[in-house]
Amino acid sequence: MVNRRGVCEGCLRLARFNTLNACDMVEENYHEYLVVFSGRKGFHILLPFSAEDWTHYRAKDPLKTQAAARFKYALYLKHRGVWFDFKTSVDPLRVHSVPGSLNAETNLIVKPIEQRIDLEALSIGRMLDLANPTRFIHPPEFASVKVTLKPRLG
């Protein structure tokens, strides 16, 4: 079912399930992480990821080191049964949605949810309500304005 913002709630339920599964695996290696609602299709898990955690650091090519480490960690998660967008997850140059910004397609807030336990406790409907920026906008109420024109002298 697609709601009025163009978000497929059934898709989000599946993404939520997959994210909870991913968090279980991530928690085996990292205790601190942040789950973020993307504002549309799913979730990001932001990690305090260090390339040295998964590969040998090469000072001459830190970007390749980071790409190799992400690839190794993504393979590790994939082999453990975590489903995610593999191609974008391993790209160290990929721009990720910044928590608190607006999703360009839905105009929903890219909403930090915290960790797995917080995602478990949050329904899809409540999450969409929290990501709705209109609850922060209070349009001013205008009273009737009377304009009196003065005649020009001269």
| CA-atom Rg of the chain in angstroms | 22
What letter would DSSP give residue 27?
A: T
- Residue with token string 């349009």: 139
pLDDT: which is higher, 104 or 85: 104
Q: What is the pLDDT of residue 89?
A: 74
How many percent of the chain have pLDDT more than 70?
Answer: 81
User: What is the rounded CA–CA span in Å between residue 104 and residue 83?
Assistant: 25
Q: How far is CA 19 from CA 22, 35, 87, 89, in A?
A: 5, 8, 17, 13
Look over the chain and give the mean of its residue pLDDT values, rounded to a whole number.
83
Topology given in CATH for the domain delimited by 9-136: DNA primase, PRIM domain (3.90.920)
Domain-wise residue ranges, the chain: 9-136
Per residue, the 3-state secondary structure of 84-138, as one string, reads CCHHHHCCCCCCCCCCCCECCCCCCECEEEECHHHHHHCCHHHHHHHCCHHHHCC
User: What is the rounded CA–CA span in Å between residue 49 and residue 57?
Assistant: 13
Q: Are 101 and 37 in contact (CB under 8 A)?
A: no
Residue 87: pLDDT band with limits 50, 70, 90? confident
pLDDT: which is higher, 86 or 37: 37
Angle (nearest 5°) at CA 17 between 109 and 91? 65
Q: Which pair of structure tokens corresponds to residue 52?
A: 């040295």
pLDDT tens digits, 142-154: 455 555 666 766 6
Q: Are 93 and 108 in contact (CB under 8 A)?
A: no
* pTM score of the predicted model: 0.76
pLDDT: which is higher, 20 or 53: 20
Q: How far is CA 117 from CA 21, 24, 81, 98, in A?
A: 12, 10, 20, 21
